[in-house]
Amino acid sequence: MAVEHRKLGATGISVSPLCLGAMMFGAWGNTDHDDSIAIIHAALDAGINFIDTADVYSRGESEEIVGKALAGGRRDQVILATKAHGKMHDSDPNRFGNSRRWLVEEVESSLRRLKTDWIDLYQIHRPELDTDIDQTLGALTDLVQAGKVRAIGSSTFPAWQIVQAQWAAEKRGRERFMCEQPPYSMLIRSIEKDVLPVCEQYGMGVIPWSPLAGGWLSGRYSKGGDSPAQSRRAQMIPSRYDMTIPGNQAKLEAAQALGEVADGAGLSLIEMSLRFVTSHPAVTAAIIGPRTMEQLQSQLAALESPVLPAEVLDRIDEIVPPGTNVNQADTGWDAPWLSDASQRRR
């Protein structure tokens, strides 16, 4: 199967329209390292050349599994991305965040776990308001100049912070974020209002996470089928799957309606969901996160034809209007003054 490759923003790097996300490899998902490695190899054999992980995924175990999978000559053919920011120690407040102190230390740990000399895309996993963005960009610039990192990016940054980072890089002569990794799916479309236009304006690549909306678009939740409240993810994040919450009930109804659109188009809901994300002109690749080989195989069809017909996109827009989230709580990252009343009214 011939796989279309797309440029990752202005980096000059070419990647497949699906990126293999490794969050489910390790204690958070598939604890069998050999099985996880087999899934990684199957994805590469199918034409995926882009892998994304993070230090915080199973506290480094995901990176270790990816490192083992790429040993033996596969590393050079893969565009390898990882992220830093997440809490890597229960009691040490400095083993976390976007500070120069932590990034310079943690990149070495990621390189060791990944068994590589360089990281193609090193991303800041979430914003951190009490760390000057220039401190973060200064550290990342030094890592690029040292050859440890090829390009840098952000993840789940709101549009105003993406712009702030671009301005800081220009003003101080720093490396700039070349890529953004936001949440995006047929159920979670708010980034169409501002994040995606901003990324296009700055020539940034976009690699959305959770194109299946945390399993809501997996096709499991048809009428009379399984309830989201019984899912494996519901044990990890109960509020996201609590069916007494009106926003979650609305997601279920929208997912069922979208399933009917997929049936009418001769597609699985999974394939339509992935192709919806990669149809947007600002998007470079959608990040898939399989835990099993069966899940991977169900998603690979979107590699062959990553763009949906206009009439299917129109039907999707009728169910979930552009720029909206079905459940307004699905934002990926909220500024603390929205979620913490003590900060909102201080």
Show which residues are catalytic: 57
N- to C-terminal Cα distance for the chain? 58
Q: Bridge-partner residues for 21, per DSSP?
A: 52
CA distance 200 to 222: 36
CA distance 327 to 240: 9
Residue 343 tokens read as 């900060």
3-state SS class at 19: strand
CA distance 137 to 25: 29
Locate tokens 């209007």: which residue? 321
| Residues sharing a CB contact under 8 Å with residue 209, sequence separation 6 or more, in sequence order | 21, 155, 156, 181, 182, 183, 184, 287, 289
Q: Are 82 and 118 in contact (CB under 8 A)?
A: no
CA distance 140 to 177: 10
Give the DSSP letter string of 82-120: EEE-S---SS-TTSSSS-HHHHHHHHHHHHHHHT-S-EE
3-state SS class at 279: helix
CA distance 285 to 192: 16
| Residues sharing a CB contact under 8 Å with residue 182, sequence separation 6 or more, in sequence order | 155, 156, 157, 191, 195, 196, 206, 208, 209, 332
Residue 154 tokens read as 């952000």
Closest-CA residue to 80 (of 104, 51, 46, 57): 51
Q: Bridge-partner residues for 287, per DSSP?
A: 19
